[in-house]
A and B are shown apart, each in its own frame.
Chain A
Amino acid sequence: MAETHRPPEQFTLRVRRYDPESGEAPYWVEHTVELEPHRSVLEGILQAKARFDGSIGIRCSCRAAICGSCGVRINGEPGLACHTHLDHARAGAPGGVIEIEPMGNMPVIKDLIVDMDAVHWKKIQRVTPWLLAKQPVPEREYVVPKEAMVDVTQSMACIQCGACVSDCLAMEVDPGFIGPAALAKAYRFVGDPRDDRQRERLVDLSDDPQGIFDCTHCFKCVEACPKDVNPMGQIMRLRRIAISDQHIVDANNGERHEAALTTLVRDYGLNHEAELPPRSYGGNSWFGKFHPAAAKELLSLLPTAVKAIARGKISIKVALFGHKLPAADLKAVQRIYQTVESRPERYELNLYVSGEDEDPDATPVGAAVGTASAGNGGGNGTTEGGDDPVASAPEGSTA
């Protein structure tokens, strides 16, 4: 029989304390608590607060990974204190001492409490986080394809805890970046077949130089999210729909960059590095380099390029002609392009929706989502109008 009860053990917590109003620098305190190992880090913090120091600041409410209030960094990684077991946290702690800090990228109000209003909620508001319904509004419910709603459930799973915002590496150097949580929220409406402003939303997020093309593709948010929302994946889908379906040209060269790399790999089989920057700046053709925007950029790269050529890092042959696959293989690559790109709908497998085959060798229940046709499908499901209450910020106890 499986072990169901383990006796309480001692866990040492190292908590970062800071009161900006005091004028004192942040400092660390250690408290040793006694709890069963499956209890949460949040319970550890609350015991330290109850037994040793009532002034430790922590925000929490549901204690069940639903309200999103207790986002912190544990051993340097963002997550929910209520969703992290003490024994797991200790296993990942250098020296066995569990280190607890406030989340990053947001100002600290006190100890483990950060100012979500100043950063997170402002960014959420930035993306118009409500449904702009198609008119006329039907008398009863909207009838939409079931797959289209299943498709947006992943972004609807967000509990607004801010863990992804905390460690966003683009935001670390560019605080104005709209960021992973808000952009995942944006997809939740762009992907919703009941919404009427898909194009306007995407133009807005592409025109903003700190919008969807400012994401640095570092997977930090994917790893941080306790609810598997995959914010970066949602940002990539926003880009895909903006570029391929809406043909929007953005403010960051993002559309040209994507077109340039995709074209170069089609034409050469491999990336042609010397052609990529000029095409990204000046337009996706060999003549892109003569566009004023590209010329300016190339001129700024000139000293480095000269040095690289002088040192034999870059050969003139590679710079001018790139490198190409053998003819037969290039032809095979181009046939793949032709086959896939000529499909009436993009075939997009979302493992969050489909899951993995239970028996890898068996025939699975397919769950491919043709995103290009979202909203045009067979209308075999209904969805009620109400969804995630984005406006209700979780309220928690603040000490």
Chain B
Amino acid sequence: MKVAYWPGCVSRGFTPELHGSMARVAPLLDLELVELDRASCTGCGVIAEHNQELADTLNARTFALAQQVPDAELMMNICSTCQGAQSECQERLDASAEYRDHVNRTLAPEGLAYERGLTNKNFLWLLVEELGLDELRSRVKRPLTNLRVGPFYGCYIVRPRARLGIDAEHPRDHYLEQVIDALGGTVIEYAGARKCCGFPIVTMNKEASLKQAGRHLGDAVDADADCLVTPCPLCHLNLDLQQPAAEGVVGRQLKMPVLHLPQLVGLALGVEPKELGLGRHIVRPTAVIDWSTSVVGAAA
């Protein structure tokens, strides 16, 4: 399957292991990624806060670029925040032809125009809805047996439900559990799975922000999780990069590894932890989890 691929900024900045692991995993899923390397930042909600039309126009440009990729079946992203910010803009652009025309007039000098009805899916949604859980299961080479994984979604990919197309038929706010299960892992239930990591206010109220991160990580520790998995690199920044600081704020040791979704998938598909950049994390999953016993067949 060929997709117009929007990696976002952070996967090419402070979480390069996400970008690398997605590239490593894609061929194993028969995914052809055509990277939208001409597209701009989604604004992650902040540019929309500054000026809604500016955010809508920047994202309409990205959508238009995606629609120009020959034979691409849809647009795919690997960031909950990108998904949420783009879905919000797309909701407005798709709702009103007049507004869409207005925005397209700004894009016209570049020869671009957004046509209503782009399909834009996070890698998580694509795994479940396009590839399918049975197909994913059939490709697993090294089931994550006995690996206890806590899902961490990121707010932007679970709320608001209607905008994100979450309903009884598409329980997208339960896909992480389904994927963990399909990969052979054990799903850990804990309070923080759909709560806020605190990243949006890390420069505005650092203590509250790190309290959020620390609380969810602590809940996962208490539920005996081996690691968390997230489709959001911004959550990853607060949960992994800032974890030592969060430990200080909540006053307890956490040592909770946080995996990017493509890393977890890659492990089950038989890719070596090092190739997936697991050694690059601040809380190294390789140091906390004994892969030789947690993952059956790892040594084979």
A residues contacting B by CB (< 8 A) are 91, 169-170, 172-174, 177, 209-210, 213-220, 222-223, 236, 239-240, 243-244, 252-254, 257-258, 261-262, 265, 269-274, 276-277, 280-281, 300, 303-304, 307-308, 311-315, 318, 322-323, 325-326, 329, 332-333, 335-337, 339-341, 343, 346-349, 351, 354-357, 360-364, 366, 368
Contacts and interface: CB of A to CB of B under 8 A. Distances in A.
A326 B110 CA distance: 14
Contacts of B43: 261-262, 265
Given A332-B61, A366-B99, 10 more contacts: A213-B201, A219-B160, A240-B49, A261-B47, A265-B40, A270-B41, A271-B41, A323-B12, A349-B52, A349-B99
15 contacts: A216-B201, A223-B160, A252-B201, A261-B43, A262-B46, A270-B13, A271-B10, A272-B13, A280-B203, A304-B241, A314-B13, A318-B13, A333-B61, A337-B54, A346-B53
A343 to B, nearest CB: 8
A175 to B, nearest CB: 10
B45 interface: yes
B211 interface: yes
A219 B95 contact: no
Given A173-B212, A216-B201, A315-B16, A336 B9 contact: no
A209 B205 contact: yes
Nearest to A338: B106
Contact of B106 (A253, A304, A339, A368): A339
Report which residue of B46, B196, B245 has the largest number of chain A beta carbons within 10 angstroms of its beta carbon. Answer: B46
Interface in B92-120: 92, 94-99, 102, 106-107, 109-110, 116
B57 interface: yes
A341 B159 contact: no
A311 B155 contact: no
B9 A252 contact: no
B52 A326 contact: no
Interface string B52-70: 1110111001000000000
A257 B279 contact: no
A340 B57 contact: yes
Interface in B63-98: 84, 91-92, 94-98
Interface in B6-52: 9-10, 12-17, 37-41, 43-52
B46 A261 contact: yes
Contacts of B215: 173
Contacts of A252: 201, 204-205
Interface of B: 9-10, 12-17, 37-41, 43-54, 56-58, 61, 84, 91-92, 94-99, 102, 106-107, 109-110, 116, 155-156, 159-161, 168, 195-196, 198, 200-201, 203-205, 207-209, 211-212, 215, 241-242, 244-245, 279-282, 284
B27 to A, nearest CB: 23
B172 to A, nearest CB: 14
Contacts of B41: 265, 269-271
A308 B282 contact: yes
B244 A303 contact: yes
A364 to B, nearest CB: 5
A16 B282 CA distance: 41
B272 to A, nearest CB: 16
B245 A214 contact: no
B92 A322 contact: no
Contacts of B49: 236, 239-240, 258
Contacts of A213: 201, 204-205
A327 to B, nearest CB: 11
B54 A336 contact: yes
Contact of B51 (A340, A351, A364): A340
Contacts, number: 232
A253 B204 contact: yes
Closest 9 A-B residue pairs measured CB to CB? A219-B159, A218-B196, A252-B204, A356-B95, A280-B203, A271-B9, A173-B211, A174-B208, A218-B155
B282 A214 contact: no
Nearest to A254: B204
B205 A341 contact: no
Contact of A307 (B14, B54, B204, B282): B282
B95 A357 contact: yes
Contacts of B279: 311
Contact of B50 (A240, A281, A325): A240
B33 to A, nearest CB: 18
A23 B95 CA distance: 54
From A172, A300, A315, A347, residue with most partner B Cβ within 10 Å: A347
A62 B282 CA distance: 54
Given A173-B211, A281-B203, A315-B16, A347 B102 contact: yes
A335 B168 CA distance: 43
A254 B155 CA distance: 20
B11 to A, nearest CB: 11
B97 A364 contact: yes
B13 A322 contact: yes
Nearest to B110: A332
Contacts of A348: 52-53
Contacts of A281: 203
Q: Which of A91, A258, A261: most chain B Cβ within 10 A?
A: A261
A216 B202 CA distance: 9
Contacts of A273: 9-10, 13-14
Contacts of A337: 54
Given A236-B49, A253-B204, A357-B97, A335 B92 contact: no
B211 A174 contact: yes
A209 B204 CA distance: 9
B10 A361 contact: no
